[in-house]
A and B are shown apart, each in its own frame.
Chain A
């Protein structure tokens, strides 16, 4: 899977590394700002209210 992806990223090894780093950064930002905040209240951790 990752091997397949790696082969398809163009450029030299350094350019590949740069592209991968940028991709990982974008992924982390998307997860931190949108995916995790949406997911957290649905999980059975950290519930602090009573009733309802």
Chain B
């Protein structure tokens, strides 16, 4: 090719180099974005769960009333052979179940205060999660787990005790929400009272459906006519397009000192394993 001329502004070689250089940087930026995206997924799916589970356990451990009267080391895994009494732990007697009279007023919790715990036998005999005041993502749902919609009824209250929780991340308190069926127990414990709710209905609604947490679930503006509970979480999993809702109604309440609701001791019938020998003896 003869003499090489010094590159000028319109030199095609210079233009090609420039294009290759730009494409190289663009490629690196795209790869970087891909890595950041992957990191975000790892964070969302794994890390929030690790941290959320720990924080929620701490919230429960911090409750002064958690330990008495919950048995040391949790409920025994030993199964009754002759009914609940055989477990050796006190079960709320039939005469201590208040089905018609009003429970005492619960004190209104402060924002972010953990004021109750939730037991759902269908989700395992060891399922217990804290319930805290507020449904903000950063202050409650992302760290404390289940949040109570401010302004809705308190546990056992006249109206609707409405709570929200994560389904797939941040400790995922409601990850098995689709397993709940009509008649399942949802047990809420405050400092001095057990509240045993029964699932009446599940639904998938749009996010704007605020009637779900109305005093009478599904009837916006209606005056309260009972003691309800509503659980809300995302649907489909990982999505924000709809909400999965579980409705329930209070079956009875009992003083914490009266023992444990048999619902959480015996669990949902399917969760009771078939073999019982040797389970309680330890290693």
| A positions within 8 Å CB-CB of B | 1-2, 28, 31-32, 36-37, 39-41, 44-52
Contact = CB atoms under 8 A, between A and B. Distances in A.
Contact of A46 (B47, B135, B208, B238): B238
A34 to B, nearest CB: 11
Contacts of A28: 39
Nearest to A41: B137
**Contact residues of B: prevailing secondary structure:** mixed
A36 B40 contact: yes
A28 to B, nearest CB: 7
Contacts of B240: 44-47
8 contacts: A32-B43, A36-B40, A39-B40, A45-B44, A46-B238, A48-B167, A50-B205, A51-B213
Given A31-B39, A32-B43, A40-B44, A48 B210 contact: no
A1 B29 contact: yes
B125 interface: no
A23 to B, nearest CB: 13
A36 B234 CA distance: 19
A45 B232 contact: no
Interface residues of B, number: 39
A14 B169 CA distance: 38
B28 A51 contact: no
A47 B234 contact: yes
A45 B205 CA distance: 16
B239 interface: yes
B138 interface: yes
Given A40-B142, A41-B142, A45-B239, A50 B39 contact: no
A41 B143 CA distance: 13
